[in-house]
Amino acid sequence: MLQKYAKAFSHLKRGSTPYGAAPHKPILLLTLIELIEKGIVTDNRILVDAQLVGTFKENWQLLVTTANIEDLTQPFYYLQNDGVDGKSFWLLHPKPGYQINQPIKSLSKLAEACAFGALANELWLLLLDAQSREFLRQVLLDTYFPEQVVFFRAAKQVGKEYLQLQTQSILNDAAPKYGKRRVYTTEEIIVRDGLFQRWVTNAYDYQCSFTGMKLSNSFNYNFVDACHIIPFALSFNDSRTNGIALCPNMHRAFDRGLLSIDENYRILVSQHVTEDTTHPYALNALKGKRIILPQQQNHYPAQEALAWHRGEVFKG
Protein backbone atom coordinates (compact mmCIF):
# COMPACT_ATOMS: atom_id res chain seq x y z
CA MET A 1 0.00 0.00 0.00
CA LEU A 2 2.85 2.40 0.78
CA GLN A 3 4.23 1.99 -2.75
CA LYS A 4 0.81 2.70 -4.24
CA TYR A 5 0.64 6.01 -2.39
CA ALA A 6 4.22 6.82 -3.29
CA LYS A 7 3.27 6.40 -6.95
CA ALA A 8 0.13 8.51 -6.49
CA PHE A 9 2.08 11.24 -4.68
CA SER A 10 4.67 11.36 -7.46
CA HIS A 11 1.99 11.62 -10.18
CA LEU A 12 -0.34 14.28 -8.79
CA LYS A 13 -2.71 15.92 -11.26
CA ARG A 14 -1.42 19.49 -11.40
CA GLY A 15 -2.81 22.40 -13.36
CA SER A 16 -0.64 24.24 -15.85
CA THR A 17 0.51 27.78 -15.15
CA PRO A 18 2.78 30.24 -17.00
CA TYR A 19 5.56 29.05 -14.66
CA GLY A 20 5.11 25.32 -15.11
CA ALA A 21 2.89 22.79 -13.34
CA ALA A 22 1.18 24.19 -10.23
CA PRO A 23 2.99 23.39 -6.94
CA HIS A 24 -0.08 23.72 -4.71
CA LYS A 25 -1.02 20.07 -4.19
CA PRO A 26 2.41 18.83 -3.06
CA ILE A 27 2.65 21.81 -0.69
CA LEU A 28 -0.71 20.87 0.83
CA LEU A 29 0.31 17.24 1.28
CA LEU A 30 3.62 18.24 2.87
CA THR A 31 1.64 20.53 5.18
CA LEU A 32 -0.71 17.72 6.22
CA ILE A 33 2.24 15.43 6.90
CA GLU A 34 3.86 18.08 9.10
CA LEU A 35 0.67 18.76 11.07
CA ILE A 36 0.24 15.05 11.74
CA GLU A 37 3.90 14.66 12.70
CA LYS A 38 3.71 17.54 15.18
CA GLY A 39 0.56 16.18 16.79
CA ILE A 40 -1.46 19.24 15.73
CA VAL A 41 -3.83 17.01 13.75
CA THR A 42 -4.68 14.07 16.00
CA ASP A 43 -7.67 12.59 14.21
CA ASN A 44 -8.61 12.34 10.55
CA ARG A 45 -10.32 15.72 10.44
CA ILE A 46 -8.30 18.54 8.90
CA LEU A 47 -9.82 21.92 9.65
CA VAL A 48 -9.33 25.15 7.73
CA ASP A 49 -7.69 26.92 10.65
CA ALA A 50 -4.67 29.05 11.52
CA GLN A 51 -2.39 26.03 11.92
CA LEU A 52 -3.18 24.72 8.45
CA VAL A 53 -2.98 28.13 6.78
CA GLY A 54 0.21 29.14 8.58
CA THR A 55 2.05 25.88 7.89
CA PHE A 56 0.97 25.92 4.23
CA LYS A 57 2.22 29.49 3.90
CA GLU A 58 5.57 28.68 5.52
CA ASN A 59 6.11 25.62 3.31
CA TRP A 60 5.18 27.63 0.23
CA GLN A 61 7.76 30.28 1.08
CA LEU A 62 10.43 27.65 1.65
CA LEU A 63 9.80 25.55 -1.44
CA VAL A 64 8.20 27.55 -4.25
CA THR A 65 10.72 29.54 -6.27
CA THR A 66 8.42 30.46 -9.17
CA ALA A 67 6.00 33.38 -9.33
CA ASN A 68 2.92 31.23 -8.74
CA ILE A 69 0.31 32.75 -6.46
CA GLU A 70 0.01 31.15 -3.04
CA ASP A 71 -3.53 29.79 -2.64
CA LEU A 72 -4.61 27.07 -0.21
CA THR A 73 -8.21 26.95 -1.45
CA GLN A 74 -7.31 25.45 -4.84
CA PRO A 75 -5.53 22.26 -3.69
CA PHE A 76 -7.91 21.89 -0.76
CA TYR A 77 -10.66 21.30 -3.34
CA TYR A 78 -8.82 19.80 -6.31
CA LEU A 79 -6.84 17.21 -4.32
CA GLN A 80 -10.10 15.23 -4.42
CA ASN A 81 -9.24 14.42 -8.06
CA ASP A 82 -6.23 12.32 -7.01
CA GLY A 83 -6.55 8.79 -5.77
CA VAL A 84 -5.37 5.20 -5.51
CA ASP A 85 -7.11 2.26 -7.17
CA GLY A 86 -9.72 4.61 -8.60
CA LYS A 87 -10.70 6.05 -5.21
CA SER A 88 -9.96 9.56 -4.00
CA PHE A 89 -7.61 9.76 -1.03
CA TRP A 90 -8.91 13.22 -0.01
CA LEU A 91 -12.51 14.15 0.64
CA LEU A 92 -14.19 17.32 1.82
CA HIS A 93 -17.05 17.17 4.31
CA PRO A 94 -19.35 20.22 4.13
CA LYS A 95 -21.17 21.62 7.11
CA PRO A 96 -24.94 21.02 7.35
CA GLY A 97 -26.77 23.16 4.81
CA TYR A 98 -23.70 23.63 2.58
CA GLN A 99 -22.47 22.00 -0.60
CA ILE A 100 -18.94 22.17 -1.99
CA ASN A 101 -19.29 21.45 -5.69
CA GLN A 102 -16.60 23.84 -6.88
CA PRO A 103 -13.56 25.63 -5.45
CA ILE A 104 -14.29 28.28 -2.85
CA LYS A 105 -11.74 31.02 -3.45
CA SER A 106 -12.02 32.69 -0.06
CA LEU A 107 -10.43 31.07 3.00
CA SER A 108 -13.07 32.52 5.31
CA LYS A 109 -15.89 31.22 3.12
CA LEU A 110 -14.18 27.85 2.81
CA ALA A 111 -13.95 27.60 6.60
CA GLU A 112 -17.58 28.62 6.82
CA ALA A 113 -18.75 25.91 4.40
CA CYS A 114 -16.34 23.04 5.10
CA ALA A 115 -16.50 21.08 8.33
CA PHE A 116 -13.21 19.33 7.60
CA GLY A 117 -11.15 17.51 5.01
CA ALA A 118 -10.31 13.86 5.54
CA LEU A 119 -7.77 11.45 4.13
CA ALA A 120 -8.60 7.92 3.00
CA ASN A 121 -8.37 5.75 6.09
CA GLU A 122 -5.49 3.67 4.74
CA LEU A 123 -3.49 6.83 3.97
CA TRP A 124 -4.28 8.24 7.39
CA LEU A 125 -2.90 5.08 9.02
CA LEU A 126 0.23 5.26 6.88
CA LEU A 127 0.85 8.86 7.95
CA LEU A 128 0.52 7.92 11.60
CA ASP A 129 3.59 5.72 11.15
CA ALA A 130 6.80 7.76 11.35
CA GLN A 131 8.73 5.68 8.82
CA SER A 132 5.96 5.68 6.21
CA ARG A 133 5.33 9.37 6.79
CA GLU A 134 8.98 10.23 6.21
CA PHE A 135 9.11 8.06 3.09
CA LEU A 136 6.12 9.83 1.52
CA ARG A 137 7.47 13.25 2.48
CA GLN A 138 10.73 12.44 0.72
CA VAL A 139 8.81 11.30 -2.38
CA LEU A 140 7.06 14.68 -2.54
CA LEU A 141 10.25 16.66 -2.02
CA ASP A 142 12.30 14.66 -4.51
CA THR A 143 9.56 14.75 -7.15
CA TYR A 144 8.47 18.38 -7.01
CA PHE A 145 11.17 20.37 -5.19
CA PRO A 146 14.48 18.56 -5.76
CA GLU A 147 16.63 21.68 -5.61
CA GLN A 148 14.99 22.91 -2.40
CA VAL A 149 15.27 19.73 -0.30
CA VAL A 150 18.46 20.61 1.61
CA PHE A 151 17.31 24.19 2.22
CA PHE A 152 13.84 23.04 3.32
CA ARG A 153 15.16 20.51 5.82
CA ALA A 154 17.73 22.95 7.18
CA ALA A 155 15.06 25.62 7.64
CA LYS A 156 12.87 23.20 9.58
CA GLN A 157 15.88 22.27 11.70
CA VAL A 158 16.86 25.81 12.73
CA GLY A 159 13.27 26.79 13.46
CA LYS A 160 10.99 29.73 12.77
CA GLU A 161 12.76 32.32 14.91
CA TYR A 162 16.01 32.16 12.95
CA LEU A 163 14.15 31.86 9.65
CA GLN A 164 12.03 34.94 10.38
CA LEU A 165 15.05 36.96 11.53
CA GLN A 166 16.99 36.20 8.35
CA THR A 167 13.96 36.83 6.13
CA GLN A 168 13.38 40.20 7.81
CA SER A 169 17.05 41.08 7.39
CA ILE A 170 17.03 40.36 3.66
CA LEU A 171 13.64 41.94 2.95
CA ASN A 172 14.53 45.08 4.90
CA ASP A 173 17.87 45.35 3.10
CA ALA A 174 19.68 45.45 6.41
CA ALA A 175 22.95 43.72 7.14
CA PRO A 176 22.63 40.90 9.70
CA LYS A 177 22.91 42.02 13.31
CA TYR A 178 25.30 39.29 14.33
CA GLY A 179 28.54 40.91 13.13
CA LYS A 180 31.82 39.18 12.47
CA ARG A 181 31.86 37.12 15.65
CA ARG A 182 28.68 35.31 14.74
CA VAL A 183 29.33 31.55 14.27
CA TYR A 184 26.86 29.92 11.92
CA THR A 185 25.79 26.30 12.09
CA THR A 186 25.67 24.27 8.88
CA GLU A 187 21.88 24.52 8.87
CA GLU A 188 21.96 28.30 9.34
CA ILE A 189 24.38 28.72 6.44
CA ILE A 190 22.09 26.69 4.18
CA VAL A 191 19.06 28.72 5.26
CA ARG A 192 20.83 32.06 4.89
CA ASP A 193 22.10 31.19 1.42
CA GLY A 194 18.70 29.83 0.38
CA LEU A 195 16.86 32.97 1.48
CA PHE A 196 19.40 35.23 -0.26
CA GLN A 197 18.95 33.22 -3.46
CA ARG A 198 15.18 33.43 -3.18
CA TRP A 199 14.76 37.13 -2.47
CA VAL A 200 17.44 38.45 -4.82
CA THR A 201 16.19 36.43 -7.80
CA ASN A 202 12.64 37.48 -6.92
CA ALA A 203 13.67 41.16 -6.97
CA TYR A 204 14.95 40.65 -10.53
CA ASP A 205 11.86 38.70 -11.58
CA TYR A 206 13.92 35.50 -11.90
CA GLN A 207 15.94 36.78 -14.87
CA CYS A 208 19.65 37.39 -15.42
CA SER A 209 20.25 41.11 -15.03
CA PHE A 210 23.00 41.04 -17.71
CA THR A 211 21.44 38.88 -20.43
CA GLY A 212 17.73 38.89 -19.61
CA MET A 213 17.66 35.09 -19.60
CA LYS A 214 14.54 33.81 -17.87
CA LEU A 215 13.56 30.15 -17.94
CA SER A 216 10.58 28.64 -16.14
CA ASN A 217 10.10 24.93 -15.58
CA SER A 218 7.79 22.52 -13.80
CA PHE A 219 10.50 21.12 -11.50
CA ASN A 220 11.43 24.32 -9.59
CA TYR A 221 15.00 24.15 -10.89
CA ASN A 222 16.94 27.40 -10.53
CA PHE A 223 18.59 28.74 -13.69
CA VAL A 224 19.52 32.14 -12.28
CA ASP A 225 21.92 32.68 -9.36
CA ALA A 226 21.87 35.29 -6.63
CA CYS A 227 25.39 36.70 -6.70
CA HIS A 228 26.95 38.63 -3.81
CA ILE A 229 28.62 41.82 -5.04
CA ILE A 230 30.86 41.97 -1.97
CA PRO A 231 31.38 38.37 -0.78
CA PHE A 232 29.55 37.50 2.42
CA ALA A 233 32.83 36.37 3.99
CA LEU A 234 34.02 39.99 3.79
CA SER A 235 30.83 41.98 4.17
CA PHE A 236 28.58 39.75 6.33
CA ASN A 237 25.86 41.35 4.24
CA ASP A 238 23.02 39.29 2.77
CA SER A 239 20.82 42.26 1.89
CA ARG A 240 19.28 42.45 -1.56
CA THR A 241 21.31 45.58 -2.37
CA ASN A 242 24.47 43.50 -2.01
CA GLY A 243 23.09 41.01 -4.51
CA ILE A 244 22.45 40.76 -8.22
CA ALA A 245 20.73 38.05 -10.26
CA LEU A 246 23.01 36.43 -12.86
CA CYS A 247 22.94 33.29 -14.96
CA PRO A 248 25.81 30.90 -14.06
CA ASN A 249 28.28 31.95 -16.77
CA MET A 250 27.76 35.66 -15.99
CA HIS A 251 28.09 34.86 -12.28
CA ARG A 252 31.48 33.23 -12.81
CA ALA A 253 32.72 36.05 -15.02
CA PHE A 254 31.54 38.65 -12.46
CA ASP A 255 33.18 36.83 -9.53
CA ARG A 256 36.46 36.53 -11.47
CA GLY A 257 36.54 40.19 -12.41
CA LEU A 258 35.90 39.82 -16.12
CA LEU A 259 32.65 41.77 -15.78
CA SER A 260 31.56 44.61 -13.52
CA ILE A 261 29.02 47.44 -13.37
CA ASP A 262 29.67 51.18 -13.54
CA GLU A 263 27.97 53.92 -11.53
CA ASN A 264 25.26 54.23 -14.22
CA TYR A 265 24.47 50.50 -14.01
CA ARG A 266 26.15 49.77 -17.34
CA ILE A 267 28.17 46.61 -17.91
CA LEU A 268 31.96 46.80 -17.93
CA VAL A 269 33.97 44.12 -19.76
CA SER A 270 37.61 43.48 -18.93
CA GLN A 271 40.17 44.21 -21.65
CA HIS A 272 41.79 40.89 -20.71
CA VAL A 273 38.91 38.88 -22.22
CA THR A 274 39.99 37.02 -25.36
CA GLU A 275 37.08 35.58 -27.33
CA ASP A 276 35.36 35.22 -30.67
CA THR A 277 33.55 38.55 -30.74
CA THR A 278 31.22 37.34 -33.51
CA HIS A 279 29.81 34.65 -31.24
CA PRO A 280 26.22 35.47 -30.14
CA TYR A 281 27.20 34.93 -26.48
CA ALA A 282 30.42 36.95 -26.55
CA LEU A 283 30.99 38.95 -23.37
CA ASN A 284 32.07 42.01 -25.34
CA ALA A 285 28.58 42.22 -26.82
CA LEU A 286 27.42 43.24 -23.34
CA LYS A 287 29.82 46.19 -23.02
CA GLY A 288 27.98 49.42 -22.24
CA LYS A 289 24.62 47.70 -21.95
CA ARG A 290 22.50 48.83 -19.00
CA ILE A 291 21.68 45.96 -16.68
CA ILE A 292 18.11 44.94 -15.99
CA LEU A 293 17.24 46.49 -12.65
CA PRO A 294 14.59 45.54 -10.06
CA GLN A 295 11.26 47.32 -10.29
CA GLN A 296 11.81 48.90 -6.87
CA GLN A 297 14.63 51.40 -6.77
CA ASN A 298 15.50 50.58 -3.17
CA HIS A 299 16.45 47.09 -4.40
CA TYR A 300 19.02 48.39 -6.89
CA PRO A 301 22.61 47.23 -6.34
CA ALA A 302 24.25 49.51 -3.79
CA GLN A 303 26.65 51.99 -5.37
CA GLU A 304 29.23 51.45 -2.62
CA ALA A 305 29.15 47.69 -3.28
CA LEU A 306 29.61 48.21 -7.02
CA ALA A 307 32.47 50.64 -6.38
CA TRP A 308 34.14 48.02 -4.17
CA HIS A 309 33.77 45.40 -6.91
CA ARG A 310 35.27 47.71 -9.54
CA GLY A 311 38.20 48.55 -7.28
CA GLU A 312 38.91 45.15 -5.72
CA VAL A 313 37.76 42.51 -8.22
CA PHE A 314 37.36 43.93 -11.73
CA LYS A 315 40.36 43.41 -14.01
CA GLY A 316 39.92 46.49 -16.14
DSSP 47: -
pLDDT band at 85 (very low <50, low <70, confident <90, very high): very high
pLDDT band at 283 (very low <50, low <70, confident <90, very high): confident
- pLDDT by residue (tens digit) across 193-221? 878 888 899 899 889 999 998 876 666 66
Residue 178: what pLDDT? 44
Residue 184: what pLDDT? 60
pLDDT band at 230 (very low <50, low <70, confident <90, very high): very high
3-state secondary structure of 244: strand
3-state secondary structure of 223: coil
- pLDDT by residue (tens digit) across 245-282? 999 999 999 999 999 999 999 999 999 988 877 787 88
* pTM of the model as a whole: 0.65
Round the average pLDDT of the chain to a whole number and report it: 88
Lowest mean pLDDT among 102-111, 114-123, 137-146, 212-221: 212-221
pLDDT band at 2 (very low <50, low <70, confident <90, very high): very high
Contact at 8 Å (CB) between 133 and 37? yes
- pLDDT by residue (tens digit) across 22-75? 999 999 999 999 999 999 999 999 999 888 988 898 899 889 988 888 899 999
Task: Please state the domain extents for the chain.
Answer: 2-144, 147-312
Q: What is the mean pLDDT of residues 152-157?
A: 86
Residue 154: what pLDDT? 86
Alpha-helical regions (H) of the chain: 2-9, 24-37, 50-63, 73-78, 107-113, 121-128, 130-144, 149-158, 160-171, 186-203, 232-235, 248-255, 303-312
Contacts of 201 (CB under 8 A, 6+ apart): 65, 222, 224, 225, 226, 245
**Would you tell me how many other CB atoms lie within 10 Å of the CB of residue 186?**
10
Residue 68: what pLDDT? 87
pLDDT band at 232 (very low <50, low <70, confident <90, very high): confident
What sign has the CA pseudo-torsion 63, 149, 244, 291? negative
Residue 161: what pLDDT? 63
